[in-house]
Amino acid sequence: MISSVEITEAIRSLGVEPADVLFVHSGLQSALRVEGDTRQAKMETVLDALEAAVSDGVLILPTFTYSFCRGEDFDVELSPSTVGMLTEHFRHAPGVRRTAEPIFSCAIRGRLPGEWEDRVYVPRDVDCFGSDSVFAFLHEANAKILFFGVGFEFCTFVYRVEQQLGVPYRYMKDFQGEVISHGRRTSVTARYFVRDLGAGVENAFLPLGAELSARGLLHEHRIARGPRLLCCAARDVHRVAVEKVHEQPDYLLTRGQAEGVAT
């Protein structure tokens, strides 16, 4: 069986330090051999390992709900995560706080710099990938982005790069609703740099992952008969993505889906 210590050692081998900010995309399909007699116990083993890897830092897992996109209000305490059972389990754990973002919320354990407290925890109008978003914090802190049992195609951080570059296949769209936090309701507008679905635009991030790997910036560790781990630094993702999009404007798109993108 795979112990939490073994997982922590694997994460550390990828360059993660105890004081780092660690953002984790996860999938547990390949984690059946993780210690624990129940699904809950296995998730605790994984979370123990993640927390130990950044014991003096900050651990962040996405708990995206897409609530406003669905025409639903967002309840910080009650709206379930839609991005995996580990993220839903983590947001209920002691000492974990959830951001008030009604589309791309995240669950956080660890202390954020003081100026970030109001930015992410207080219900207010938001720009999902703007300067006050968790994704901006990941860039500022040069967080390590870990892919636990999933591939680089899940790298949501790249959406911030697309917004900063103002790519022509996305546009700003406002979504309205109410954010409920500790029983209080706040009317909120969330600005989201959405894909042009009418043009059939689809992202493809695997070429960026391959480029990062070729440059020695995306590190890999495969636990024997267990999950594959990938890890990279947020600023490296940002820098290489900007470079490649400047070279080829449709770089982050599925080939054949970039009709109408200027060259």
Q: Is residue 259 part of a domain?
A: no
Q: With contact defined as beta carbons under 8 Å apart, do 87 and 27 qualify?
A: no
Whose tokens are 């129940």? That residue is: 38
- Indicate the pTM of the whole model: 0.95
Q: Is residue 262 part of a domain?
A: no
Q: Is residue 255 part of a domain?
A: no
Across the chain, where does the E strand assignment appear? Answer: 21-26, 58-62, 74-75, 97-98, 106-109, 126-127, 144-148, 170-181, 184-195, 219-222, 228-233
Reported as a single tens digit per residue, the pLDDT across 203-230 is 999 999 999 999 999 999 999 999 999 9
Reported as a single tens digit per residue, the pLDDT across 155-193 is 999 999 999 999 999 999 999 999 999 999 999 999 999
What mean pLDDT value characterizes the chain? 94
Q: How many CA atoms lie within 13 A of 152 on its CB side?
A: 23
Rounded Cα distance between 10 and 53, Å, is 9
What is the number of helices (H) and of strands (E) in the chain?
8, 11
C-beta atoms surrounding 41 within 10 Å: 11
Total domains present in the chain: 1
Q: Is residue 182 part of a domain?
A: yes
pLDDT for the residue numbered 255: 59
Amino acid at 74: F
DSSP letter assigned to residue 131? T
Rounded Cα distance between 201 and 196, Å, is 6
Instruction: Compute the average pLDDT of residues 68-78.
Output: 98
**Exposure letters 135-165 (e unless 16+ CB within 10 A, then b):** bbbbbebebbbbbbbbebebbbbbbbbbbbe
Rounded Cα distance between 74 and 62, Å, is 15
Q: Is residue 55 part of a domain?
A: yes
Q: Is residue 54 part of a domain?
A: yes
Q: Which domain holds residue 179?
A: 4-247
Q: Is residue 253 part of a domain?
A: no
Rounded Cα distance between 45 and 52, Å, is 11
| Orientation of helix 206-214 relative to helix 234-247, angle to 10° | 110
Q: Is residue 209 part of a domain?
A: yes
